[in-house]
Amino acid sequence: MKYKKLGNSDLIVSSICMGCMGFGDSKNGQHSWTIDEMETKKIIKSALELGINFYDTALAYQNGTSEEFTGKALRELAKRDEYIVATKFLPRSLKEIESKVSGQKHIENSINSSLKNLGLDYVDLYIYHMWDYNTPLEEIMLGLDNVIKSGKARAIGISNCFTWQLAKANYFARANSLTEFVSMQGHYNLIAREEEREMIPFCKEENIALTPYSALAGGRLAKYRGETSKRLEEDSYAKFKYDKTVELDQLIIDRVVELSKKYGVSMTEISLAWLLTKVTSPIVGATKVSQVEGMAKAVDLTLSDEDISYLEELYIPHQLVGVMAQNSKKS
């Protein structure tokens, strides 16, 4: 495993981040394909043994049970200074807004809930899960600064936002001596490359770490034509993101297959090796130990410039999907 500094923070993270959205009670949340506590521990044990020290979860994942399973496994398997934990908080709910719960209080309540679920005194990276259009930016940035000053997080990151929003937030923080975002978690992979327009160049200029989610497009960049899985069949949100462009995307996936056969490696290794030429630490989910082994191997695979061009040349701009499509209507 290789390690990198996370942007302008002092956090040293593995080149692969274990995405924990697949962990949690399958009967208690958005996803029906998540794995239980025992299987979660097996995955995390394998990841730790392969040198993966970076784990990303969220308060929203399976109503907090992802945090519970992840935190318990890490506490039992490793010392606190041997792993980096990131978790995320959502915008204020309508009920909170009507009850006049401030943005600062919402963030305080959210971090306390996450720490309780994780069984930890602090998280290493606390992430603004998606832009809150109903809360003043000042409230968000003050709330996050309070989290840092209280010792409940070591650094802050942001996810699912536009470049202008990240710039506005960090420049506001800079002008007011508040904590700045050190990482950006956006939707980015071989078949979803819209972040290359503005976000990636901006983050590289500002030394903001890129930790994209959906690194394998919900498994699509790791499976042959006709191959399926429980997640591919049941993940309605991923279908919403990818089904409209399936024919176009399949042409790129076919090239992943071609290169995997050429080098005698898995599709996962090819897809992630490409992504690792662009970002700090992609977030990669796993529900099987074999998947962890594949993501770790990708770190040691070097693609040629010709390989990279071959994988990229068929891409045609896509419409924004998922959270960002919803946000574009609000901006």
Q: Which residues lie closer than 8 Å to 41 by C-beta, 6 or more apart?
A: 69, 72, 73, 76, 77
Query: Which letter does DSSP use for residue 219 in this model?
Result: G
- What pLDDT, on a 0 to 100 scale, did the predictor assign at position 272? 98
Q: Tell me phi and psi for residue 17, to 5 degrees.
A: -105, 130
- What pLDDT, on a 0 to 100 scale, did the predictor assign at position 225? 76
- What pLDDT, on a 0 to 100 scale, did the predictor assign at position 28? 82
pLDDT digits (tens, 9 = 90+) for 275-313: 999 999 999 999 999 999 999 999 999 999 999 999 999
Residue 310: exposure state from Cβ atoms within 10 A (0-12, 13-18, ≥19): middle
What is the four-CA torsion angle of 199, 200, 204, 206, rounded to 10 degrees?
10
Rounded distance between C-alpha atoms, residue 96 and residue 99, angstroms: 5
pTM: predicted TM-score of the whole model, two decimal places: 0.93
The active-site residue, picked from 61, 83, 188, 242, is: 61
Q: Tell me phi and psi for residue 50, to 5 degrees.
A: -90, 5
- What pLDDT, on a 0 to 100 scale, did the predictor assign at position 239? 67
Counts for the chain of helices (H) and strands (E), in that order: 14, 10
Q: Which residues lie closer than 8 Å to 304 by C-beta, 6 or more apart?
A: none
Going through 160-295 in order, the beta strands assigned E by DSSP cover: 181-185, 209-210, 283-285
| Domains, the chain, with CATH or none | 3-330 (3.20.20.100)
pLDDT digits (tens, 9 = 90+) for 153-207: 999 999 999 999 999 999 999 999 999 999 999 999 999 999 999 999 999 999 9
- What pLDDT, on a 0 to 100 scale, did the predictor assign at position 238? 62
Residues of the chain with pLDDT under 70: 226, 228-240, 328-329, 331
Rounded distance between C-alpha atoms, residue 199 and residue 141, angstroms: 20
Catalytic status, residue 61: yes
* Nearest in space to 80 (alpha carbons), one of 71, 92, 91, 90: 71
User: CB of 47 within 8 A of CB of 14?
Assistant: no
